[in-house]
Amino acid sequence: MKRLHVDSSKRLEHKVRKPKSDPREYGFTRLANGARILLVQDPEAVFAAACANVQAGYFDDPDDVPGLAHYLEHAVHLGSERYPDEKEYKAFLSQHGGASNASTSMVHTSFYLKIHSSMCGPALHRMGAMLEAPRLKPESVLREVENVHSEFSRNTNSDARKLLQLRRSTSQPPYSKFSTGNITTLRDDPMRAGLDVSTLLRGYWEKKYTGDGVCVCIVAPQPISEQESWVKASFEGIRTSSQSAPMGEGAPKGLIGSGFTTAIDSTQLGLLYSVIPQRELRELELRWHIPYGMMRDMECKPWRWVSHIVGHESKGSAAYALKQAGLIQSLSAGTGDEVRLGPGFMFWSVTMQLTEEGLDHVSTILKTIHRALQVILSSSSEQRQAIYEELQETSLLRFEYRDRQQPADLAKDAAQKLHYFDPEEVLAGPMLLNQFDEEAIRSFMSHLVPQNLNVYFSTKRHQSNTAVMSSMQVERWYGAKYSVAPFDEGLKAELAALVASLPPAESTPSTGPTTTATASATSVAPLMPLLHLPSANWALPVDAALMHSLPGLSPASSVSPTPTVLLERPGIRVWHCCDVSHRIPKAYVYLMLATPAVYRDPKAWITARLFVRLLDDLLEADAYHAEVLGCSYSVNCSEEGISIQMTGFSSVIPKLLDLVLHGLATGVTEGHVQERFDVMAGKMLQSMQVWKHNNPLQHAEYEADHFLQRPHWHVLHDSLPLLEKNLISPEDVLAFGRSLIPPRAGAGGNVDAEGGSTQVEMLLYGSLSSHQAAAISESVCETLRPAGLGSSPWPEVGIVQLYAPRPVEGTTSHPGNTAYVYVPDNPNPGNSNSAIFLVCQVGMDDPADRSKIVLLQLLVQIASKPCFHALRTVQRLGYTAGCQLYMHQGFLGFAVRVQAANYKPDVVGERVVQWLHDFRAELASVDSDTFEAHKSSLRERLLEPTKSLADAASRAWMPIRRRTFDFGAREAKAEFLSGTTLPNLLSLYDANIIPSGPSTQTLCTQMWGGGVPPEVEQKMEAVGSASTGEGEQPGGMDAMSAVAHVVCGYSHLVELKVGLECSYRPRL
């Protein structure tokens, strides 16, 4: 693809090809130093976004200092020559409602920010300054290496990261390099070698961070001409590389130069990797090496075409056949790691999650995938073109009517794509299939042969395989345990024969098999007749007309209207809102089928979730056609019942909803349940076992929710045993499904008073007329026949109030200041990282009183960057550290979260408590201008118009879902905010947040990496038994409260929660 040669002395007007639904204006300029800039005017944007993408990544790391590019990504944030204070960049963004982040990949490093649009120019000036002249002070960068190491440590327990690095480490450099770096490669080894790290960083920056390697995208409401003045002032000072030739026509010159040839050689292919994961993973990945980059065939995109066919899930696909045979749970196909610089390369993969049965039949699965490739190879040119044209049509529809990207997402995507696409095609080029090219397809598929293939087979079952264990190796950086061997020659020959010449496949049938086929899992032969090319997509053609049913509302409107009640009958209420302001012919459907039968007890909870999984399994083959078009649905269980969410083209929604509702009402039959129950129960069991291996901070947050919610059915203690002991049967699932939908009149019998009690709350939002919405509503009534909840209340759960469990001696009142330390068992003691999640309870989010939530939102905005700087940058407690608004089941609080690699949670708790004390003085010292700037930024966020149909629909649904019906909540919060003063905020902080406050109620959940040491557990249990508040308190709680209660383990918590009061969400 040609690169545009642009004269650096002027801005060019470019007609960027954009979606029909996109109202933004685009411009392009190239600075004198070679930097390429895409300028986007979004008149509706309240918050602007920008991204600077540097064409330099870990491929450019020196061989003896792995991770240097990633280290520099961190280090440039620590002050610049123009703005030397290392806190200044993030503090400035935070003060104006913004945030920033960065990432490093193979050949790119990306820096992005979001900020109130009025401050976009100064923010860009700061971003440009850190790229143009970072300070890189030795003391600062030496301190930052600990944060890089914390990031590395966080990922050492990730199977995905272990497998990623294994693939790379067993390849050729530079692909095989260690991208993240750690304290050994970035501090200790260089120090032993006599190398100065800050000098190395500066050398890398001088060589790689040059104008001709930088692409920037800005999205803001200001005119293009004003944005252009910003970028000249901000980025024109970045040096030009003296080694780089002027950019002209032809492929972009990669900074890694012509020395880069290939990612992997022939001796590293044709191999089977047997990997022992940490989690209960059963994964099989087939990964082919393609020795050229995407830019060669970008017009045709043959990899997309092949992925579409092989990854299809309808009847006739490999996924469908293997699922029906009980061998796999899921299948996906597509490109993985890829580089477009120079000749480039890519990897194309088919990844499957296996069943227990599938572990015994890997060769059958391999043969089936190769047979699927053969179906493509043996198809006629007419068949191939017909499928390509259908995919071309769906790609065009998805592009032309895509929901508007958030400014930050657009900036990140466009800045990276600008390295490879002309400005005119930077949006459309990556998405559209422009030309059917049989030769490009044939060339791509010629590489999908066994000699270009590696297979990665991950399962814990390898631990009992003597042959695998006898040749076990450990990957150097992340410690993946694996064995590697060449393919069995017999299997290799069979696979090669399957993708060799065979008779042409039969013509694509108009519909798939109408009955479920059961294949023997011991041989590939019974699966062969099940495979054929995808049938025609039933969701096409699409009616792309917009509906205009509301007076005064047009596609040009920026105001999203408010839902109104369209239908209300016993058992059902339907809300409707026709919104075409986002210019796309799509709609959202939200449906809550409220019933106490779902969360009645742990068995009901797991039974309901199994029913939903079986429903998804039933619908998958037919619903996949709609998914190809970007139309999707989800069915989930919650404490309140079963929720359905659906989005897509308005002309497709009625068909898709009909499919889902009829499946819910009558589709999950006894035959389907009996046939697929074991697979679905096994999949759920596996997901719970995998859940144990979440990172410690995820577990700490989950356990805090478990402590505070009543009832709350715990994954390990309430749910997992039901599946492990086979206490739920297919009959239970069938009975639950039948209880959801009451019998039709004349069917006999009464509706079960509990299981048959259902109430529907529904919203139809988007490009749907009132007539269409009414027709959909009647269909829902006819299919679900909701009977109402009768005398039962709307299902809900309570939140525990953190008052002391016993009154003060001699009184009947509870002490106002109370602290709990909860030390649950660590589900994954093999993870050495620790975490705390500390919550200060404030109260319920009451629609009639906005003070609590507004003050908390303002506090979080002011405190977020000081918290990050104190706990992560200065104290270096861990890579993940910060504060947030805590909101669970309507209850509000202020939370601090830290995951630490080198500190135990009691020490982290002490540091957090101390920071809460210290921050009070910092908060009190905020000057009036800064305080008003924070208020203004928060107000703008509250009043910011919706940026997409998805955002508008979600905002409309939340008040209905929560049953507060306060559609004007944002405006009411903004009005309250206008009168808020710093003394108001300090009053809240003093009463509810500062550890010594008179009403502070705090829960500190500690997750101990490696498990709680016995001596610590004994000490905590002793303190917990006493609960007197006298003497030494655990984990810094002596500074937190006069009454600290320690809760060790699940059984102690069960006893405690019985005696604590609950609060429930206020309703309007």
Separation of alpha carbons 194 and 863, rounded Å: 40
Examine the pLDDT at 514 and tell me if it is beyond 60: no
CB 1009 within 8 A of CB 832: yes
β-sheet with 891-900: strand ranges across: 880-888, 891-900, 834-844, 1001-1007, 818-823, 1044-1048
Q: How confident is the model at residue 1049 (pLDDT cuts 50, 70, 90)?
A: low
- 201 vs 504: which has the higher pLDDT: 201
Is residue 810 a contact partner of residue 825, using CB atoms and an 8 Å limit? no
Strand 328-339 and strand 271-276: pairing?
A: unpaired
Is the confidence at residue 560, as pLDDT, over 90?
Answer: no
Q: Please give the residue that has the higher pLDDT: either 1068 or 110.
A: 110
Average pLDDT, the chain: 88
User: 897 near 697, Cβ under 8 Å?
Assistant: yes
Q: Is the peptide bond before 541 cis (omega within 30 degrees of 0)?
A: yes
Q: What is the pLDDT of residue 239?
A: 93
Nearest alpha-carbon partner for 700 in 917, 878, 919: 878
pLDDT of 205 > 70? The answer is: yes
Are residues 196 and 136 in contact, defined by beta-carbon separation less than 8 angstroms? no
Q: Is the pLDDT of residue 551 over 70?
A: no
**Pair 566, 589: CB distance under 8 Å:** no
Q: How confident is the model at residue 525 (pLDDT cuts 50, 70, 90)?
A: low
Burial of 510 (0-12, 13-18, 19+ CB in 10 A): exposed
Reported as a pLDDT band with limits 50, 70 and 90, residue 1055 is low
Among residues of the chain, what percentage have pLDDT more than 70? 86
pLDDT recorded at residue 520: 39
Mean pLDDT of 619-647: 96
Other beta carbons less than 10 A from residue 601's beta carbon: 11
Cα(78)–Cα(404) distance, integer angstroms: 34
Other CB atoms within a 10 A radius of the CB of residue 869 amount to 17
- For residues 369 and 285, give the distance between their C-alpha atoms in angstroms, rounded to a whole number: 11
What pLDDT is attached to residue 815?
Answer: 56
Give 387-406 pLDDT, tens digit per residue.
999 999 999 999 999 999 99
DSSP label of 259: G
Pick from 542-551, 614-623, 1018-1027: least confident: 1018-1027
pLDDT reported for residue 1047: 75
Residue 14 scores a pLDDT above 70: no
Polymer length of the chain = 1068
CB 751 within 8 A of CB 742: yes
Model pLDDT, residue 1012: 81
Instruction: Output the pLDDT for position 848.
Output: 87
CA–CA separation, 428 and 494 (whole Å): 41
CB-count burial class (<10 Å; 0-12, 13-18, 19+) for 382: exposed
- Segment 457-474, tens digit of pLDDT: 999 999 999 999 999 999
Q: What pLDDT does residue 209 have?
A: 97
Q: Would you call the peptide bond into 721 cis, given omega within 30 degrees of 0 as the criterion?
A: no
Which tokens is 617 given? 């399994």
809 pLDDT higher than 70: no
Tokens 């619908």 belong to which residue? 619
* pLDDT of res. 498: 86
Using DSSP, how many helices (H) and how many strands (E) does the chain show? 32, 28
The whole-number pLDDT of residue 202 equals 95
Which residues, in sequence order, are CB contacts of 674 under 8 Å at separation 6+?
A: 730
Look at residue 743 and tell me whether its pLDDT is greater than 70.
Answer: no
H/E element, 936:
helix 928-943
Place 1045 in a pLDDT band, splitting at 50, 70 and 90: confident
Residues 664-701 have pLDDT tens digits of: 999 999 999 999 999 999 999 999 999 999 999 999 99
* 708-725 pLDDT, tens digit each: 998 999 999 999 999 999
**What's the half-sphere exposure (Cβ side, CA atoms, 13 Å) at 550?**
22
Q: CA nearest 834: which of 802, 880, 785? A: 880
pLDDT at 668: 92
pLDDT surpassing 60 at residue 509: no
Per-residue pLDDT band for 545 (boundaries 50, 70, 90) equals confident
pLDDT of 1030: 38
Give me the mean pLDDT over the 597-611 stretch: 97
Looking at residue 1013, its pLDDT comes to 81
Sort 750 into a burial class: Cβ within 10 Å, 0-12 / 13-18 / 19+.
exposed
Write down the pLDDT at residue 1058: 60
- Which residues sit opposite 110 in a β-bridge? 53, 103
| Residues 64 and 241 sit within 8 Å (Cβ to Cβ) | no
Q: What is the pLDDT of residues 424-440, one digit of tens each?
A: 999 999 999 999 999 99
Average pLDDT over residues 11-34: 87
Looking at residue 1024, its pLDDT comes to: 54
pLDDT number for residue 399: 96
Token duo for residue 188: 């200790």
Residue 519 is predicted with a pLDDT of 37
Cα angle for residues 114, 118, 121 (degrees, 5° grid):
70
pLDDT of 601 higher than 70 = yes
Is residue 727's pLDDT more than 70?
yes
Task: For residue 896, give the 3-state DSSP assignment.
Answer: strand
Taking 90 as the threshold, does the pLDDT of residue 645 lie above it?
yes
pLDDT for 480 beyond 90:
yes
What lies within 8 Å, CB to CB, of 271 at 6+ separation is 454, 455, 484, 485, 486, 487
Residue pLDDT, tens place only, 234-258: 999 999 876 443 333 333 333 334 3
189-193, 222-226, 276-280, 1019-1023: which has the minimum mean pLDDT?
1019-1023
Q: What is the mean pLDDT of residues 616-631?
A: 95
CB within 8 A of 691, min separation 6: which ones? 715, 827
Burial of residue 383, with CB atoms counted within 10 A of its CB: 0-12 exposed, 13-18 middle, 19 or more buried: middle
Intra-chain end-to-end CA distance of the chain, in Å: 59
Q: Please enumerate in sequence order all residues whose Cβ is within 8 A of that of 501, keeping only pairs 6 or more positions apart, or say none.
A: 378
Res 1021: pLDDT: 63
Helices (H), 692-843: 696-708, 720-724, 730-740, 770-784
Looking at the chain, the whole-number percentage of residues with pLDDT higher than 90 is 76
pLDDT in tens, 846-856: 888 999 999 99
